[in-house]
Chains A and B, each alone.
Chain A
Amino acid sequence: GENVEQHPSTLSVQEGDSAVIKCTYSDSASNYFPWYKQELGKGPQLIIDIRSNVGEKKDQRIAVTLNKTAKHFSLHITETQPEDSAVYFCAASPGGGADGLTFGKGTHLIIQP
C-alpha cells in the first residue's frame, strides 16, 4: 500500500517569512496530492491540491509543487501570518472515485510574531 512521509514534524518561522513542508510517497499509482490544514479541535480543511498532470499550482500565498519522477511534493507558504499557525497534513491517493487518502504524520507550523 501507499506510504507517505512528511517532514519536518515541527516548523517554526518568523511572521512574514516563508515556510516549506515536504512529503514523499511510495506508490507510483498515486495521482492526487492534497494538503490539509487542521486547527485545534477542528476537522482537516483542504487548502490546495495538485494532480499528477501538473507540476505546480499556486493560490495566493500558497503553492504546491510535484515531482512525480522523484515521488515528492511540497507545500510553500509565503509571507506567513499568525493565522497560518496550525497542523498541516499532506496526503496521496490514486484519485477520483472512492479511493481513500493516505496521510502523512503532519507538520506543526508555528508562526512567531
Chain B
Amino acid sequence: EPEVTQTPSHQVTQMGQEVILRCVPISNHLYFYWYRQILGQKVEFLVSFYNNEISEKSEIFDDQFSVERPDGSNFTLKIRSTKLEDSAMYFCASKLDGVYGYTFGSGTRLTVV
C-alpha cells in the first residue's frame, strides 16, 4: 500500500536554529498538508498546498513557517527560527484530487532545546 514518507523520524535542534522537515507524498496525490500535534494534545492543521502554492493556512502558520515543493516528489516544511513551543510531532499528509480522505505519514518528532 502506498505510504507518505517523512524524514527524519526525530530531530533535535537548538532554539533559534532553522529546521527543515521533509516529506515524500504518495506519487499521484495532488494535495499536500502539514499538521502538528503537541504532546498529549489534538492534531492541528498548519497549511495545505495545491498546484505549487499555499491554498489555506491556519493562525499557527506565521511568518516563521514556509513550505516548498522543490521537485516532483518532496514537500518540505521549514521553520526559520525555532522556539521551544515549536516542539511537537509534525505530520505530513496527501490526498488525491476529487476524494476526501487523506493519508498521513508517521510524523517527525521535533524537539527544540
Contact = CB atoms under 8 A, between A and B. Distances in A.
18 contacts: A34-B101, A34-B102, A41-B106, A43-B4, A43-B106, A44-B43, A44-B104, A45-B104, A49-B100, A89-B43, A96-B98, A99-B48, A99-B56, A100-B56, A100-B58, A101-B43, A101-B102, A104-B42
Contact of A98 (B49, B98, B105): B49
Contacts of A104: 42
Interface residues of B, number: 27
Which applies to chain B's interface (DSSP): helix, strand, loop or mixed? strand
Nearest to A4: B42
B103 interface: yes
Tell me the interface secondary structure of chain A in the complex. loop
A35 B16 CA distance: 36
A31 to B, nearest CB: 9
Contact of B101 (A49, A99, A103): A49
